[in-house]
């Protein structure tokens, strides 16, 4: 029988409910994987070993009594180290927060616990979720970046150290590391998941992200954490859908839009070939694939997204930066200095570009089930000092539309290549159905060489 750590999240939950596995076994195997692998991968910022074992024992007692908290009962997960965790340090990869221990959970963390998830610990992040990379390495090739800023989240799920994780995305910090690490990434609609208790970078762009091993696993995670929270001013006043059901449905083949020009011009040859091959498989499976022109505002979005992020990040850090500038890493320090010198008219114009672009994407998605593009311009680049190129993720972070990335091939280097599917605002259910259909057709099942069954 396969080791428990190689199971999907949904399969692990099913076996717990059938009493074929216990939460204690799942936690013990996850901790053993961490002990075996993390001295090399360095995905974890802190392990809450004793608390995880206590939670596993309690959830095991409940399972034996046929009492289940929710869709994640007994499954170990990881938390990016920008989310508050009660009693466990939250340092955001920064010297400024060294030793900081919150006294409450971020809402996303609290909802995971209420759904029965077991928090193993905190996952490494670039400093304050920006660009000064942590020491985390890619499980597929340790000389390559795992992406960022949710570096630990991508690496830990890919290396089978936890069944799923949460991270964040302001520009590309979920989809990029998920792609580089060969797993499923999901960025829900802006405002669908509460950011209360999550350290901000740029509040009008910050999303909670999901890292998982399958579309069904991502749906289970979303089911647990989505929904309105009045403490987050961006929270949507909508009820969460039945995402797990959506991910299990096999509807008609989808209608998919592709935008060759702005992506193929920047993607390397292997990425273009892998995406073309995936599109061929989807079309052979019955999908209607149509090439379209990119929205008119596409050429304006990259510089204006940077303006929004720069202005908002400098405002978030204004007081702390004035007192302790030298505590910041070089990339973030330079970025904040730029924002503090920015004129208000630049920001106002950038927000207007964002508004127009969101409407343009809405118009495209009125005629399609999803927009399919490469998730990144190339597989993970060599070196861990960079988190990679987020430019293919930026449009959908700026617009706030939901995105799911799926690995689709391995490059000749042995590194994964992924596609990303963008769906209509608040239509996560439909996007998950499309993604599950595509997942079955593409049928990527490779695992990193560091994962030994």
The set of catalytic residues is: 80, 149, 173
3-state secondary structure of 246: helix
Pairing of strands 76-80, 164-169: parallel
Q: How far is CA 322 from CA 145, 200, 270, 345, in A?
A: 32, 18, 45, 23
Q: How far apart are the first and last CA of the chain?
A: 10
Whole-angstrom Cα distance, residue 24 to residue 102?
26
Tell me how far CA of residue 252 lies from CA of 105, 214, 437, in angstroms: 41, 20, 9
Distance, CA of 227 to CA of 39 (rounded, Å): 37
> Distance between CA atoms of 434 and 256, rounded to whole angstroms?
9
Order of strands across the sheet that contains 370-374: 44-47, 118-123, 76-80, 164-169, 207-212, 184-187, 403-410, 416-422, 370-374, 255-258, 288-291
Residue 351 sits at φ, ψ, to 5 deg, of -65, -35
DSSP-assigned beta bridge partners for residue 329: none
Q: Whole-angstrom Cα distance, residue 125 to residue 211?
A: 14
Q: Distances in Å between the alpha carbon of 28 and those of 14, 17, 21? A: 18, 18, 12
Measured CA to CA, the distance from residue 396 to residue 402 in angstroms comes to 7
Kindly state the greatest CA–CA separation across the chain: 62
Provide the CB-side half-sphere exposure for 170 (13 A, CA).
25
User: Rounded to an integer, what distance in angstroms lies between the CA atom of residue 119 and that of residue 109?
Assistant: 8
Per the omega criterion (within 30 degrees of 0), is the bond before 149 cis?
A: yes
SS3 189: coil
Asked if 41 and 155 count as a contact pair (C-beta separation under 8 A), the reply is yes
> Is the CB of residue 113 less than 8 Å from the CB of residue 85?
no
Q: Name the E strands within 333-415.
A: 370-374, 403-410
């Amino acid at each position: 029988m396969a080791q428990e750590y190689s199971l999907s999240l949904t399969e692990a939950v099913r076996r717990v409910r059938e009493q074929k596995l216990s939460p204690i076994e799942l936690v013990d195997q996850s901790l053993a994987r961490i002990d075996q692998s993390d001295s090399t991968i360095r995905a974890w910022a802190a392990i809450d070993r004793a608390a995880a074992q206590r939670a596993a024992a309690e959830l095991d007692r409940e399972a034996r009594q046929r009492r289940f908290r929710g869709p994640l009962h007994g499954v170990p997960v990881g938390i990016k180290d920008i989310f508050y965790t009660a009693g466990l340090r939250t340092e955001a990869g920064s010297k400024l927060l060294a030793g900081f221990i919150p006294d409450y959970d971020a809402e996303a963390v609290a909802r995971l616990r209420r759904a029965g998830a077991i928090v193993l610990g905190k996952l490494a992040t670039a400093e304050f979720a920006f660009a000064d990379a942590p020491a985390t390495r890619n499980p597929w090739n340790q000389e390559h970046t795992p992406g960022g800023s949710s570096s630990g989240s991508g690496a830990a799920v890919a290396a089978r150290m936890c069944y799923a994780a949460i991270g964040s995305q302001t520009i590309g910090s979920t989809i990029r590391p998920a792609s580089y690490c060969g797993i499923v990434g999901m960025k829900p609609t802006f405002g669908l998941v509460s950011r209360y208790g999550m350290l901000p970078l740029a509040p009008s762009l910050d999303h909670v992200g999901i890292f998982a091993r399958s579309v069904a696993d991502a749906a289970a995670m979303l089911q647990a954490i989505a929904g309105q929270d009045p403490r987050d001013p961006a929270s949507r006043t909508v009820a969460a859908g039945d995402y797990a059901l959506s991910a299990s449905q096999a509807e008609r083949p989808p209608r998919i839009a592709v935008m060759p020009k702005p992506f193929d011009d920047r993607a390397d040859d292997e990425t273009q070939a892998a995406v073309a091959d995936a599109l061929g498989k989807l079309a052979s499976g019955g999908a209607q694939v149509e090439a379209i022109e990119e929205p008119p505002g596409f050429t304006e979005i990259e510089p204006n997204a940077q303006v929004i992020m720069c202005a908002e990040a400098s405002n978030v850090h204004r007081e702390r930066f004035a007192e302790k500038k030298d505590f910041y890493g070089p990339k973030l320090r330079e970025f904040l200095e730029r924002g503090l010198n920015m004129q208000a008219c630049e920001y106002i114009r950038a927000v207007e570009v964002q508004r127009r672009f969101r409407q343009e994407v809405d118009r495209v998605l009125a005629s399609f089930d999803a927009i399919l593009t490469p998730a990144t311009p190339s597989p993970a680049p060599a070196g861990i000092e960079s988190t990679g190129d987020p430019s293919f993720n930026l449009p959908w972070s700026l617009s706030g539309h939901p995105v799911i990335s799926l690995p689709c091939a391995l490059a000749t280097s042995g590194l994964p290549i992924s596609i990303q599917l963008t769906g209509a605002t608040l239509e996560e259910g439909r996007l998950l159905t499309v993604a599950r259909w595509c997942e079955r057709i593409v049928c990527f099942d490779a695992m990193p060489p560091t994962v030994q069954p």
